[in-house]
Structure 1
């Protein structure tokens, strides 16, 4: 009796998100093994599609004849069973498709790299030297109980040391993460280290290089070429432990016997997956830990409300340091004798002047460019482009403004409100700040670090480093002073988590200071400023949770976004109310028009109803997709629902 192949189709259609049975022909029987990539016929479409062979089974007695597998694309089992089960669990939690998750986890096949991998011998088992093991133990010893907790596979929250490393060009946090990896590797198990961007990755790789050999570390990120990334993926498939360092998709890495997953700075938006089903790396790591029993460590200089909620309910354990140093934060404000509009108070200015002879000084600003915001000089109405209504900006002093959206220049601009023809600069970007401070400190080197001018690191010579938030380069030996500007403007953003974000931006900059160097936060008071000054970020997260709980704001509840036509959204909401009759009427916000016949509704439920919410919304998505297919080729675009769970903001 011929065996049956159960195949997951690689298709974006939600109604195809299940296993399909195909007969295995005799010619493919030796190579049609679980985990290989295959091509199969799709009767409804009359074409061939690719998919994953998940498992083999026996045909059902008296069942209808099955279509046959058409081709085995590769004989290499690229999809281990554990990775499929993880993708299935993550997709079910987010009301998404497993094939969408696998598309993020498995890189595109490269034939030449695959042939080279098949011909090469298996990599040797990495060895952690006694000296490296001793240094790792010393680093972990700063956190009582951390070593035993990692070995036992617990879920942990760790506040990283807020200091630079000995050389200053990487943070001490990178050494801590490397120590966790070395400890786990010494036990014969793999470690996954998930970081937001390439700058964090470089610091972790540098720290790992001081403890482990190169063959023990696998770099995994989208910045590598296709063959390099596919080769790294093949290396993980070997039954040899390793340390994988990469961005958000690394949480799915199929490394052998994973003993620890470390997520660094989970509040960074780069760890939120923009592609369907939009699962944050933090949530995927929680699903993986529940399935595999590995240790899970959330580390950062700040504590997100998402992690703090898990700490409060006892799902994650807080592991504090035996002794936690903190930067010397000064809350700077303008004095009575100074102009109220002074951007840099005299105390911060004096700190920069005193520190510059000894080394670099960091100045953090909110925005890049010269003057990102222009307003009418008469009525202060924001200057807008006459073509697309985008904001006008100035590239340099005296230049003709151009549009930040469409890029068109705006000669002869006039205000739409009062018809005035002159404008003024309402904000200072990184380049304008560099000009102003360069004039204030003549002869001092000025370095701009932002998205247009990336800087990897700064040497220890005197310099003014003007950096946008998140783009601050580490300095050799640490900065001799740090000035955090535009804090009041950052806090004015209309976002639920803006306080969390500002505290994270400022904390990540403050830890770049040399020991004892002052960190001046300019013009900010209130809970966020106090949390930075006292270095009590977890307490701020607890207070935020307490404030959001009575208002039913995330992450105290799970929030789902449902988009589609008004009819489809209303039907999905009605079916949800029938399936979950105990959710209150206030759980549904909207629907609100989004333009072009699309509306959006937000649904808030407690975590106990999260699984039922995901299952019901997924059923509505499939039903809408099937209904659209029946109405004609153009119908799916109008009727297909788009669902996203765990929305971080209540933004209709």
Structure 2
């Protein structure tokens, strides 16, 4: 008998189905292979994964037979299924959704080439490279031992740029993680490292490629071609250890003899999974380490409140460096006699002028474009599109205003409040800032780096690099000065974690400065500015946790969002109250109407997580089964579906 997991988005099908194995498929029907099976309720043949083999039960119930075995390659390992099942159960989701992220689509040519090549030999790390890794790790006393003993640690990466032996510019963090992976591979175990985007992956790949054999480095990237990504996945199925680097789904890579799982910059939203069930790479890594063993490393230039909570409860150990290194941060404010409207204070302006004599200067801004926000010149009311109500922006000086939503040009715009026809630029984007600084520093190169103008690296010649947050390019030997603008505007965003996010953006930019170069934070005061100036991000995260605990804000508690028809949401909340009577009276916020549905938030302690999620998942399944026979004339859709999302980062109804 074969037990098969059906590939279906329906929550009621998130279980194993029993099928009889016909004699002609007995040799191929092994655990982990792709199969096709009949689904009686749908009257069709569907895809699935053969999870395990078992003995038929004693009942006389006839079983349907496997239709076919799609591929002889066992792509689903027992450990991967256990991880997917555990992650799905924690997030009130389906294991099939997790496996859809973890296992790429089958590519026949790549599969045939892998089968013909056979298992690769065990990689050998040169003694000199193993010694190099030990030397790098020695900057963190106890880190090498923690890797060997499979501990969970949080480290603050060195906030400085570095150069490899071939002259390639990388962050010092990439060298640290490359050393950890090299030591792990030298011990005959595999390492899995997840980073937010392709630029981080390129730095890590450059740091690793010179230290480990080429066939032991596996690149897992969603932007790869289908055959290349499937070939990389097949390499992780081999018994030979390897180092896998990639983005958020990399944490599921089914490597053998796992020795290390590492996450770089876990506060980056790119490590959060937008697809159902929305398991963050950090949570998946924690589950992976708990199930498979090996070490777990959280590294970053700052500390998220999520990781700091784990440190506070003793689940993760804080491992500081032997020698504390921090950038030279200056809190820049307008001096006496200067206009408070001055965007760049004289101290920051002078620092940029002096630094340009030596090399490049980085200027970080909040938004891309020229003038992202336009307002009425008379009453300062935000300028809106007459067709869709979207905000207007200017692409360049003197250009007609354009809607950011529908793209229409507002040729005859008039203010809806005072009827004025004159507009004023209320903010400066990267292009306008570059234009203004270009006039202030004539003859100096000006480089714009944002989403529309991606730049990965700049040379050591003098230049003004104007970049949006997160798009800052690397500079050979680091920037000679860093100016952080629009900090007050960034902090005004309507987000529970905005101060934490700003500290991460500023810390990552400050880490690009050359040793001793000034980093000017303009116009920001308070705790978050002091945390950057003193380079005490972990202490700031602890203070944030202390402030959120009395208010029961995440991550001090877990939060689940329940959305759907009002009757279904009310029934799910009532069932939850019955199943988990320990929930306090203020655990549920809402429900509030949102378009055709309502939405409620449920706050619960970590100790109640399993029972809360089980109850909510049961309500989702019950609603899905009940809704199969929709009323005549009603079209099934999002308005008639009950949805649950667990571990929502913000309390936003």
Distance of 2:630 and 2:118 partners within structure 1: 55
Query: What is the aligned counterpart of 1:22 among 19, 24, 49?
Result: 19
TM-score under structure 2 length normalisation: 0.98
Q: Distance in 2 between matches of 1:320 and 1:394?
A: 47
| Structure 1 segment 213-228 matched on structure 2, within 5 A | 213-228=213-228
Alignment deviations for residues 187-212 of structure 1 (CA, whole Å, 9 cap, x no partner)? 10000000000000000001102211
Indicate the residue corresponding to 1:368 in structure 2.
368
Q: Does 2:197 align with 1:200?
A: no
Q: 1:114: which partner in 2? A: 111
Q: Does 1:323 align with 2:323?
A: yes
User: Is 1:10–1:51's contact at 8 Å kept on the other side of the alignment?
Assistant: yes
What is the root-mean-square deviation in Å for CA atoms of aligned residues? Answer: 0.9
Contact 1:132–1:211 (CA under 8 A) maintained in structure 2: yes
- How far residue 385 of structure 1 moved from its aligned partner, in angstroms, is 0.7
**1:172 and 1:534 mapped to 2: Cα distance?**
20
- What secondary structure is seen at the aligned counterpart in 2 of 1:546? helix
Provide the residue aligned with 1:159 in structure 2. Answer: 156
Structure 1 unaligned blocks of 5 or more: none
CA distance 1:383–1:637, change in 2 (3 Å):
closer
Question: Does 2:599 correspond to 1:600?
Answer: yes
* Closer, same or farther: CA 370–638 of 1 in aligned 2, 3 Å: closer
Hey, what's the Cα distance between the residues in 1 that align with 2:134 and 2:557? Answer: 39
Q: Following the alignment from structure 1 to structure 2, what is the Cα–Cα distance between the partners of residues 454 and 213?
A: 31
Question: Deviation string for 1:469-507 (max 9, x for gaps)?
Answer: 000001011000000000000001111000100000000
Are residue 6 (structure 1) and residue 3 (structure 2) matched? yes
Question: What are the superposed Cα offsets for residues 213-257 of structure 1, whole Å, 9 maximum, x if unpaired?
Answer: 211100001011000000000001000000000000000001111
Structure-2 separation of matches of 1:284 and 1:290: 10
Tell me, in whole angstroms, the C-alpha distance in 2 between the residues paired with 1:636 and 1:172.
49
Given that 1:168 and 1:475 are in contact with CA atoms closer than 8 Å, whether structure 2 keeps it comes out as no
Report the counterpart of residue 382 of structure 1 in structure 2. 382
Mapped to 1, the partners of 2:194 and 2:281 lie a distance apart of 8
- Structure 1 position 626 matched with structure 2 position 586: no
Query: What's the counterpart of residue 651 of structure 1?
Result: 652
Q: 1:635 offset after TM fit, Å?
A: 4.4
Match of 2:452 in 1: 452
Structure 1's consecutive aligned runs of 4 or more residues displaced over 2 angstroms after TM superposition are: 630-640
- Residue 545 of structure 1 corresponds to which residue in structure 2? 545
Note the alpha carbon deviations across 1:377-414, whole angstroms, 9 max, x for none: 01100101111111100000100010111111111100
Task: Return the alpha-carbon distance in structure 2 between the equivalents of residues 239 and 88 of structure 1.
Answer: 23
Distance 2:103 2:60 in 1: 34
Measured against aligned partners, the alpha-carbon deviations of 1:286-329 in whole angstroms (never above 9, x if no partner) come to: 11111111111000000000000000000000000000110000
| SS of residue paired to 1:231 | helix
Aligned residue number for residue 353 of structure 2: 353
Offset of residue 81 of structure 1 = 1.0
Task: Report the Cα distance in structure 2 between the residues aligned to 1:324 and 1:209, rounded to whole angstroms.
Answer: 28
Q: Distance in 1 between matches of 2:636 and 2:510?
A: 53
Partners of 2:119 and 2:290 in 1: CA distance: 30
Distance 2:60 2:491 in 1: 64
Offset of residue 637 of structure 1? 4.2
CA distance in 2, matches of 1:631, 1:131: 68
Deviation at 1:636, TM superposition (A): 6.0
Deviations 1:526-547 (A, max 9, x none): 0000000000000000000000
SS in 2 for 1:65: coil
Structure 2 counterparts to residues 129-208 of structure 1, below 5 A: 129-166=126-163, 169-208=169-208
User: Using the alignment, how far apart are the partners of 1:351 and 1:63 within structure 2?
Assistant: 84
Q: Secondary structure at the match of 2:329?
A: strand
- SS of the residue 1:297 aligns to: strand
Secondary structure in structure 2 of the residue aligned to 1:170: strand
What residue in structure 2 maps to residue 128 of structure 1?
Answer: 125
C-alpha distance in 2 between matches for 1:354 and 1:163:
20
- Return the alpha-carbon distance in structure 2 between the equivalents of residues 637 and 533 of structure 1: 47
Deviation at 1:62, TM superposition (A): 2.5
| Unaligned runs of at least 5 residues, structure 2 | none
Whether the 8 Å CA contact 1:564–1:599 is kept in 2: the answer is yes
2:206 maps to 1:209: no
1:526 to 2:526 alignment: yes
Contact 1:625–1:636 (CA under 8 A) maintained in structure 2: no
Quick one: distance in 2 between partners of 1:195 and 1:49? Answer: 34
Distance 1:58 1:314 in 2: 43
Secondary structure of residue in 2 paired with 1:49: strand
Q: Normalising by structure 1, what TM-score?
A: 0.99
Query: Are the aligned partners of 1:624 and 1:639 in contact in 2 as well (CA < 8 Å)?
Result: no
Residue 38 of structure 1 is aligned with which of 35, 41, 56?
35
SS at the partner of 1:448? Answer: strand
Q: Which residue of 1 aligns with 2:641?
A: 640
- Structure 1 partner of 2:558: 558
Partner Cα separation in structure 2 for residue 637 and residue 333 of structure 1: 50
